[in-house]
Amino acid sequence: MTIQQAQETVDQWIKTTGVRYFNELTNTAILMEEVGEVARIMARRYGEQSEKESDKSANLADEMADVLFVLICLANQTGVDLTEALIKNLEKKTLRDSARHLNNSKLR
Protein backbone atom coordinates (compact mmCIF):
# COMPACT_ATOMS: atom_id res chain seq x y z
CA MET A 1 0.00 0.00 0.00
CA THR A 2 1.39 3.40 -0.92
CA ILE A 3 1.10 6.40 1.36
CA GLN A 4 -1.48 7.89 -1.01
CA GLN A 5 -3.48 4.67 -0.93
CA ALA A 6 -3.29 4.71 2.86
CA GLN A 7 -4.66 8.25 2.93
CA GLU A 8 -7.51 7.24 0.63
CA THR A 9 -8.24 4.05 2.60
CA VAL A 10 -8.37 5.90 5.92
CA ASP A 11 -10.62 8.56 4.37
CA GLN A 12 -13.03 5.89 3.12
CA TRP A 13 -12.99 4.12 6.49
CA ILE A 14 -13.77 7.35 8.31
CA LYS A 15 -16.65 8.16 5.95
CA THR A 16 -18.20 4.68 6.11
CA THR A 17 -17.35 3.26 9.53
CA GLY A 18 -16.15 6.20 11.56
CA VAL A 19 -19.10 8.42 10.49
CA ARG A 20 -16.92 11.56 10.38
CA TYR A 21 -13.51 12.85 11.37
CA PHE A 22 -13.04 14.08 14.92
CA ASN A 23 -11.99 17.72 14.81
CA GLU A 24 -8.32 18.50 14.35
CA LEU A 25 -7.71 19.41 17.98
CA THR A 26 -9.30 16.18 19.20
CA ASN A 27 -7.24 14.16 16.71
CA THR A 28 -4.07 15.96 17.83
CA ALA A 29 -4.82 14.96 21.44
CA ILE A 30 -5.52 11.38 20.32
CA LEU A 31 -2.22 11.36 18.39
CA MET A 32 -0.34 12.39 21.54
CA GLU A 33 -2.09 9.64 23.49
CA GLU A 34 -1.15 7.04 20.89
CA VAL A 35 2.47 8.24 20.75
CA GLY A 36 2.52 7.92 24.54
CA GLU A 37 1.44 4.30 24.27
CA VAL A 38 4.33 3.61 21.86
CA ALA A 39 6.70 5.42 24.22
CA ARG A 40 5.52 3.32 27.16
CA ILE A 41 6.25 0.09 25.30
CA MET A 42 9.65 1.34 24.13
CA ALA A 43 10.67 2.54 27.60
CA ARG A 44 9.66 -0.70 29.27
CA ARG A 45 10.59 -3.23 26.62
CA TYR A 46 13.75 -1.66 25.22
CA GLY A 47 14.69 0.94 27.84
CA GLU A 48 15.64 0.70 31.47
CA GLN A 49 12.14 0.64 32.97
CA SER A 50 10.93 -2.75 34.07
CA GLU A 51 8.00 -4.18 32.15
CA LYS A 52 4.99 -4.99 34.28
CA GLU A 53 3.18 -8.25 33.58
CA SER A 54 0.25 -6.28 32.13
CA ASP A 55 2.63 -4.49 29.70
CA LYS A 56 3.98 -7.70 28.20
CA SER A 57 0.90 -8.24 26.03
CA ALA A 58 1.11 -4.77 24.48
CA ASN A 59 1.50 -4.98 20.71
CA LEU A 60 4.07 -2.47 19.45
CA ALA A 61 3.08 -2.87 15.80
CA ASP A 62 -0.58 -2.22 16.61
CA GLU A 63 0.29 0.87 18.65
CA MET A 64 2.49 2.20 15.83
CA ALA A 65 -0.38 1.59 13.40
CA ASP A 66 -2.65 3.62 15.71
CA VAL A 67 -0.16 6.51 15.52
CA LEU A 68 -0.03 6.24 11.73
CA PHE A 69 -3.82 6.09 11.44
CA VAL A 70 -4.37 9.27 13.45
CA LEU A 71 -1.50 11.05 11.66
CA ILE A 72 -3.13 10.15 8.33
CA CYS A 73 -6.46 11.48 9.64
CA LEU A 74 -4.81 14.79 10.48
CA ALA A 75 -3.11 14.93 7.07
CA ASN A 76 -6.43 14.29 5.34
CA GLN A 77 -8.19 16.93 7.42
CA THR A 78 -5.57 19.59 6.78
CA GLY A 79 -4.96 18.87 3.10
CA VAL A 80 -1.45 17.48 3.52
CA ASP A 81 -0.25 15.06 0.84
CA LEU A 82 2.00 12.85 2.97
CA THR A 83 3.81 11.41 -0.06
CA GLU A 84 4.81 14.88 -1.23
CA ALA A 85 5.60 15.98 2.33
CA LEU A 86 7.87 12.98 2.93
CA ILE A 87 9.71 13.46 -0.37
CA LYS A 88 10.35 17.13 0.44
CA ASN A 89 11.37 16.28 3.99
CA LEU A 90 13.90 13.70 2.79
CA GLU A 91 15.31 16.22 0.30
CA LYS A 92 15.69 18.76 3.12
CA LYS A 93 17.39 16.23 5.38
CA THR A 94 19.70 15.08 2.58
CA LEU A 95 20.86 18.63 1.86
CA ARG A 96 21.18 19.58 5.51
CA ASP A 97 22.81 16.37 6.74
CA SER A 98 24.82 15.24 3.70
CA ALA A 99 28.09 15.22 5.63
CA ARG A 100 26.90 15.68 9.19
CA HIS A 101 26.26 12.03 10.01
CA LEU A 102 29.22 10.74 7.99
CA ASN A 103 31.52 12.98 10.04
CA ASN A 104 29.97 12.06 13.39
CA SER A 105 32.46 9.89 15.25
CA LYS A 106 29.70 8.82 17.66
CA LEU A 107 28.05 6.87 14.85
CA ARG A 108 31.09 4.77 14.06
The single-letter DSSP state of residue 23 is P
CA–CA distance, 35 with 3 (Å, rounded to integer): 20
Instruction: Dump pLDDT digits (tens) for 8-37.
Output: 999 999 999 999 999 999 999 999 999 999
Question: Could you give the domains of the chain?
Answer: 3-80 (1.10.287.1080)
- Are the CB atoms for 72 and 6 separated by under 8 Å? yes
Mean pLDDT of the chain: 95
| Beta carbons within 8 Å of 13's beta carbon, 6+ residues apart | none
Q: What pLDDT score was predicted for residue 90?
A: 97
Q: What is the pTM of this model?
A: 0.90
Read off the pLDDT of each residue in 35-48 and give the average, rounded to a whole number.
96
Task: Round to whole Å and give the CA distance between 106 and 108.
Answer: 6
